[in-house]
Structure 1
């Protein structure tokens, strides 16, 4: 699994997830990599371009990231979702839990 972290805008960490799936097969690797990239940051955007499938394990990992950032008064935003993944999030009502943006620049700018 490939994760790249860059700083954009007003000190926002953007993590690019470059994997076809976020599921039980790679969720532990995802969690470990995200934890090391996030450190003590409070503004994080996950760029999901290219992700075609997320299962319940992947969703749990994303919720874990959100909770961790909320606990330190931060926020976790998602962007660049494929139509399939976005439809899944809406079906599971996760679009009400996560702050989701169509474009990366919009997600970064939403931190103000």
Structure 2
């Protein structure tokens, strides 16, 4: 599978297992993410450490997740950006709306503050 979900410290952790997060997985990811958020809660952490490329459709899925989280008084945070993915967040200015962390521990701890 291209992605997986697990619970850690009452946070839904979504892991992307492909080097390229594109339109090929964006629709399924968004659908599963929103469903899991309904079932398990509105605080989400997305692991992009394997990804070397993300396209606009995948970024749109992340924005949809953030919107849903915010509506339910939660948050969607991201960690593990490779340089090309980080550049895409800079180019699209999405770094302004997402909390982005270097590693999983930092990101998980940020939910406790």
Q: Identify, as 1 or 2, the structure richer in helix.
A: 2
8 A Cα contact 1:3 1:33, kept in partner? no
Cα distance, 1:36 vs structure 2: 3.2
State the partner residue of 2:49: 49
Give the superposition deviation at 1:71: 0.5
2:89 and 2:14 map into 1 onto residues whose CA distance is 19
Deviation at 1:52, TM superposition (A): 1.2
Identify unmatched segments of 5+ residues in structure 2.
none
Return structure 1 stretches of 4+ with deviation > 4 angstroms. Answer: none
84-93 vs 17-26, which deviates more?
Answer: 17-26
Give, in whole Å, the separation in 1 of the partners of 2:90 and 2:67: 19
SS at match of 1:4: strand
1:60 is paired with a residue whose SS is helix
Shift of 1:19: 1.4
Q: CA RMSD in A?
A: 1.4
State the shift of 1:15 in Å.
1.3
Contact kept? 2:42, 2:75, Cα under 8 Å? yes
Q: Which residue of 2 aligns with 1:71?
A: 71
Question: Residue deviations 1:8-43, cap 9 Å, x none?
Answer: 23x111111111222222211211222333234121
TM-score for both structures, normalised by structure 1: 0.90
